Amino acid sequence: MLDFFSSINLATFDLNDSNIHELDSKTILVKKWNWDYSLAHKFQRQTIELLNHAPQVRVVICCSHPRVFTHGRGLQKPKKGETLELVDFNPLLKETLPFPFYQIERGGGLTFHHPGQMIIYPILRLNPKTLSLSKMIDTLFEVAIDVLKDWGLHGLDHENKLLGLWCGEKKLASMGVAIEKLTTFHGMALNFYQDEVMKTELIKLNPCGLDAKIYTSVEELMNIETKTLEDFSELYLRRLSHAWK
Q: What is the mean predicted confidence (pLDDT) over 94-110? A: 95
Asked if residue 103 is part of any domain, the answer here is yes
pLDDT value at 136 more than 90: yes
Q: Which residue in the list 62, 63, 167, 208 is annotated as catalytic?
A: 208
pLDDT tens figures, 140-195? 999 999 999 999 999 999 988 899 999 999 999 999 999 998 999 999 999 999 99
Backbone angles phi, psi at 217, to 5 degrees: -145, 165
In a domain, 165, yes or no: yes
The lowest-confidence range among 126-130, 138-142, 200-204 is 126-130
Domain count, the chain: 1
Asked if residue 155 is part of any domain, the answer here is yes
Query: In terms of pTM, does the model score above 0.85?
Result: yes
| Confidence (pLDDT) at 167 | 97
Q: CA–CA separation, 5 vs 35, rounded Å?
A: 18
208 given a catalytic annotation: yes
The answer to whether residue 122 sits within a structural domain is yes
Strand order in the sheet with 68-74: 101-103, 68-74, 108-113
List phi, psi (to 5°) of 74. Answer: 145, 165
CATH number at residue 132: 3.30.930.10
Q: Which domain holds residue 35?
A: 2-73+88-243
